[in-house]
Amino acid sequence: MLKNRDEIEQQYKWNLNDIYPNWNEWEKDLTTLKELMKEIPNYQGKISKNSEDFINFINLEEKISRLTDKVYLYPYLQRDLDSTNENASIKLQEVEGIYANYAIASSWVTPEILTIPKETMITWINENPMLESNRFPLMETYRLQEHVLSADKEKLLSYFGQYLGVPSDIYSELSTSDIKWNEIELSDGSKMPVTNGVYSKIVSTNRVQEDRKKAFEALYNSFNINKNTYAAIYKSILQRDFAAAQSRNYNTSLEKALNPKDIPLNVYISLIESTKENTAPLKRYIDLRKKALNLENYHYYDNSINIVDYNKEFSYQDAKKTVLESVKPLGEDYYNGLNMALSEGWLDVYETPNKRSGAYSINIYDVHPYMLLNYNGTMDAVFTLAHELGHTMHSMLSTKNQPYPISSYTIFVAEVASTFNERLLLDNMLKNTTDSKERIALIEQAIGGIVGTYYIQSLFADYEYQAHQIVEKGGAITPDVLNNIMENLFKEYFGPNLSMDELQKIIWARIPHFYNSPYYVYQYATSFASSANLYDRITNEKYSPEEREQAKVDYLNLLKSGGNDHPMNQLQKAGVDLTKKDTFDAVAKEFDRLLDLLENELNKIKGDI
């Protein structure tokens, strides 16, 4: 049963006072921000003349950026706690409007920087230590020079900046604030509205297939009823992305998404190709589950229930202790950092009405990270806690070791730390249980990570690629077109043992990343493959103790490196080369190994499958 926010103890809620104690203090910083932004145009025509003006300008830009982080995220986080919070929505829109005007007023900056010869810029950096922390981003400006327009064209494009996020805003309101959840009655007589969180718990714990079906149909019908609106929103996003790509001299939306971080196109394509070539373990898993669960027909909503009847509830306090214990192999500093991250006020733990679904960790350089959870006591929720704490530790280590301009790590490496933490948790829980059912549940949790973080995200990446290509080739986008892409992909990935429900096809309507951050989800899969390789180097006893220790140092250095280099280079320094296809192929091999282990454990308690 959902609790109202005022019924939850403060220790389980965010303390946003760490950002601002009240709206009055927020207003003061907003006024300061406006005044600082007014100074930007004064530097036009000056920053290319001498290093002194350039340094002063760079320092001003950093002040604005750091203040914007706080001023923007204070209402943003409040709105995520309650999407109907009108005051927070108004304040957030105010900040967005101010920043849009700032983007217009500063649209001349990059073009003017590029009038400074690269050799001159390098000299300025070498002669002025204050510029050293900006070396990498400044050199990136020159690398991406062909995609920067003239000052007048940059200004023209900046006028549209405020509107580019509108489709995402509309999606958020439709899928969160205005969504109507359908109520169901389960076989035990209980009645409830099926929210995202309720659905997740039912399909992962309720052993009655008909109940899982009811929850599935209730949730997906909440999206299906507005399928034409969702498709229209998504079409506008696809069109926006292609227009943005063309305006900056990119051939495709994918190229525009990858090039700024220097990710080769073949990494994306190799991921999709490798995953498609290695669907055999996934199909084997579905076949095994269908038989083990004794189901006549196997549906997607059967994918989360444990093979064995294992519905242990994990209190949040126990979950914290277990996760904290699991990270000890990374050393005392990491352990102490995680303990700090679990402090009161950093996490918002439980689902409440109108709270954003899912989970995330977001960092404020001058405050600390904030983690959003919708903790429901399942084993999956424990792993989600470990996952988000991985992000938080990544942010804490980057903040501690990097100056602000290069403190933010890219999305491309973001999921390495989170999935690495999940592997630590799995190992720890397996070592500390002799319960066969719990061992099977844990092995399935690990397999679930491979399915959900690698295969499903690769499938979603494939979907995004196909959808963008349709628009880029002048094709039409309708609910049926998007449904067909999803249907074909699920059949290709999961095989004939997965019964495809009509409503399953509309999963594209309930994946926020498609609407909020296109070409994001593939990075879950690349990061998963990366963390698998790193984890092997640190824990596999085929390596010497010295090699494993060095691998741990390399991994922690990756987390400390923030955004001080291209992500592919950062991973290579840590020992992972994603240009090699066998990096991805290794995931399927691990999948098969876990399946062998799962079959052996099942045979111990229930005979041959």
pLDDT for the residue 607: 55
pTM of the model: 0.82
Residue with tokens 């709206």: 23
DSSP code, position 13: S
pLDDT for residue 160 is more than 80: no
Q: Which residues contact 24 (CB under 8 A, 6 or more apart)?
A: none
Q: Cα–Cα distance between 126 and 118 in angstroms, integer? A: 12
Hey, which of 215-224, 412-421, 574-583 has the most confident mean pLDDT? Answer: 215-224
Q: Cα–Cα distance between 287 and 310 in angstroms, integer? A: 20
Is 219 a domain residue? no
pLDDT for the residue 149: 72
Q: By C-alpha distance, which of 460, 416, 476, 20 is closest to 275?
A: 460
Q: By C-alpha distance, which of 98, 96, 77 is closest to 88?
A: 77
Is 238 a domain residue? no
Q: By C-alpha distance, which of 349, 329, 313 is closest to 81?
A: 349
Range with lowest mean pLDDT among 90-104, 137-151, 398-412: 137-151
How would you list the strands of the sheet with 347-348, edge to edge?
347-348, 370-372, 360-362
Measured over all CA atoms, what is the biggest interatomic distance in the chain, rounded to whole angstroms?
Answer: 79
Predicted confidence (pLDDT) per residue in 314-362, tens digit: 999 999 999 999 999 999 999 999 999 998 899 999 999 999 988 999 9
CATH at 139: 1.20.140.70
Is 108 a domain residue? yes
48 CB-contact burial (10 Å; exposed 0-12 / middle 13-18 / buried 19+): middle
Measure CA of the first residue to CA of the last residue in the chain; give whole Å: 37
491 within 8 A of 289, measured Cβ to Cβ: no
Is 72 a domain residue? yes
Q: What is the DSSP string of 55-89?
A: HHHHHHHHHHHHHHHHHHHHHHHHHHH-TT-HHHH
Quickly state the pLDDT bin for 148 (edges 50, 70, 90): confident
- What residues does 360 pair with on adjacent strands? 372
- Name the domain count of the chain: 1
Predicted confidence (pLDDT) per residue in 242-284, tens digit: 999 998 889 999 999 999 899 999 999 999 999 999 999 999 9
Q: Cα–Cα distance between 190 and 202 in angstroms, integer? A: 12
Range of the domain at 99: 17-164
Q: Which residues contact 379 (CB under 8 A, 6 or more apart)?
A: 310, 312, 314, 441, 442, 445
Is 117 a domain residue? yes
Is 36 a domain residue? yes
Is 155 a domain residue? yes
Is 478 a domain residue? no
Q: Cα–Cα distance between 253 and 227 in angstroms, integer? A: 24
